[in-house]
Structures are given as structure tokens and as C-alpha cells.
Structure 1
Amino acid sequence: MWAVASLLPARRMLASAPRGDGRPVMLLPGLVNSDRSLFLMRRYLRRLGYDAVGWGLGRNLGARAIGGEGERLLARVARLHEESGQTVTLVGVSLGGIMARFVAHRLPEAVREVITISSPYAGDPRATRVWRMFERLTGERIDAEGVVARRVEIARPLPVPATAIWSRSDGLVNGLICRDPEEDGCRAIEVRSGHLGVQIRPAVLRTVADILAVPGQGPLGTFRP
């Protein structure tokens, strides 16, 4: 409720963001969430001029949603790439950001850049308060051989430009594993936000808009709106 209330006084700041160029942007929700959780971000990016779409796979229940090898999500991104004739920008929240990195590794020719928001991809999943819930909802054990191999792949430097938006005050995941300071080609941008509702925080919305305006460029470091 506080995140929603903060949008009103920030409307001028949000409206002054750079205009988009019509490129396709796919938004990937966090654990348990669906495209509805990203409605405000999708609407905001569309108003700026981007072709922002949801992932169209229902609730994010890990492999149960995207397929055992991610084939459903990979097919969705490949289809958007083919239909638009452009590479796709992936913006993922929490688990959605981890999946965005997975797609970029598997389909680099279809991905323009990756933006993760509060996504704990760079460390042990036990450095979160939700890893047990992840196991119950997805049916996957974080120490299973296949899951560990996928985690290693996702944490490797991406073959496309990337930005990791993170917060020290996240509350549900350790913000320090939501970015890897040693990863070349990935900017780490710090914001002040808790985990719940991070996707509708004015600072996060504006940061995403600013990143999209200059994709793959800009200095590495910390940014506090």
C-alpha cells in the first residue's frame, strides 16, 4: 500500500522519463506472481513508447511454469523476437530476473539486454527467506544436481548487456547476492526498497526507464534516485 501511495507524488518524475522507441520488452514476474503483478510497470513502459508485454505463462512456479528445461519460456521469447523482427529486452523481478538471465544464456541472438530487479542470482539461495517456499511451490530442490548446474550457468557473465537493480533493505533476499561486482558488462544499481512491491516503487520504475533509454551503456556503480 505504501508503494502504491508513493506513486502519486512521483508522477511528474515518472512522466519526465525519456521516450521509448517501440522495441519489445518482456516482463517476467517473481515467484508465485503472474503478469498481473507487473501491470503498472507494463502500463508505464507502454506509455513511454515501448512494446511492453507479459510473459504469458501464468503464475511463476519455476519449472512448472516454464518447462523442465525452460522450453516454454525460450519459445515465448523466440516467438516475440521473430514476430517483432527485433531483439527482446528482458526485465525480471526476483525469480523472473533469474529466468531472464537463463534465457539470455540460451538465446543470446534473441535478447537485447537483461534487467534484473531484486534477483538473487549471484549467491547461495539459502541467503534468502523464501528458498523453502521455492522448493515447495516448484517441486525442485535447490541442491539437486540439475538445479545447481542451472544456478552456475545463470550466474556466469551474460553474453548481452545487463543491469542488476538491488537493495540493501530488501528484507526477503540478501541484496548483496542480487548483483556480482566482478561481472563484466553488468551495471549494479542500488535503490532503497523492500522486496514486496519493488516493481511499483517510483525509483525502480524510473531507473528501468533510464536504463532502457541508454541500453548497455553507462558506468558501473551505485545509483540512488
Structure 2
Amino acid sequence: MSQVGDGLNTPMQLSWRKLQLSRAKLKASSKTSALLSGFAMVAMVEVQLNKSTESKVPEAMLVAFAVCTTLLVAVHMMALMISTCILPNVEAVCNVHNANLVHESPHERLHWYIEVAWGFSTLLGLLLFLIEIAILCWVKFYDYSEMAAWSACIVLIPVVFLFMIFALHFYRSLVTHKYEVTASGIRELEALKQRMDEEDIETNRTNNGNYNVQIV
């Protein structure tokens, strides 16, 4: 990447880092969504359902399994579609390794789409996947042992709880970190502007002094 300035918080460097972050989010979202949606489809296809299963497993559980699987695949497909559409345009700019071309990337204009894909793939998609596991265990093991189905649900309850706590803590820490970095960048830019203003004032004084000397 071409060097734009000595500081790491110049406007061009900040835009370049934001571009790289958007690229990483889109890549992670694309890989995660493709993997988890594939697992969900395989689980729905491979689960063995027959007349005896239909008579034993509660119908509400079968409906929940169908709805959760469909919603899980739909959410990950949405994230995958957004990532697939935006990522090539971002990659085209990143592969040039020139910070002066950052403005040609659509990551700023499509910022909310990138965040939606990231949220669908990580937070909502993973939460639905955990719920899918609980429902799948119920549908799969209810014929053989109702206790096994309840055991799977009981084990997943604290896992989901810990997952939500980690997600909230992670996003809160991330927002705090972004605020601190942005505040630091603003302070550096203000200091740089003040220094440039002082240099301009000094330059004007020098020019005025030379002009007065020439008049005398």
C-alpha cells in the first residue's frame, strides 16, 4: 500500500483500515453462512421421520423444527447473498494496494448492508443454529428416550445463555474500542489542523515581512 502520511490516523489511512475491516467481515460472513446453511440442509434431509415418529414426537416440535431450519437457511442465504454481491467490488480495490483508490470501493455507501450480513451470519445465524441443535436432538432421540431429548435441551440452555452474554460483551467492547480509536483519530486530526494553521500564519508573517522590506 502506498504511504499517504506519517501518522496512522490520517483520513486516508482511516478509510483504508475501514475498507480492510469491511473486507474481513464480508469474508467471514460468506464462509460462516455457507458452512452453517449447508449443515442445516443436511440435518433436514438426513433426519429419519416415519409414521411411528410422527405418532410419538409432538407435532409442535416438528413444526418448530421445520420453521427453525427454514429460517436458519434463509438468514444465512441472505448474509451470503450480500457478501457475494459486495465482496468482489471491495476485493478489486484492496488487491490494487493503493490507498488513494479507497473512494472507489462501495463499502462506505453499503455500510449498513455489510453490518446486516455480519449480524445475520454471526449473532442471529449462530443463535438459530444452537436452537436448531436442540430441536433436532428432540426430534431424533424422542423415539428412543425422552430423557435424552430433555438432556440435550438442558445442556444447551446454559450454552445459549453464555453465548448471549459473550455476544453482548463482545459488541459492547467493540463499540467502546471503535469510539476510543475514533476519538484518538479526531484528536490527531485536530492537532494536525492546528499545526498546519500555525505554519500558515507563520508563512504569511514571513511573506508580509519580506514584502515590507522590499517596499522600504
- Provide TM-score, normalisation by structure 2: 0.21
More helix by share: 2
Please say which structure displays the higher CA radius of gyration: 2
| More relative contact order, 1 or 2 (CA 8 Å, 6+ apart) | 2
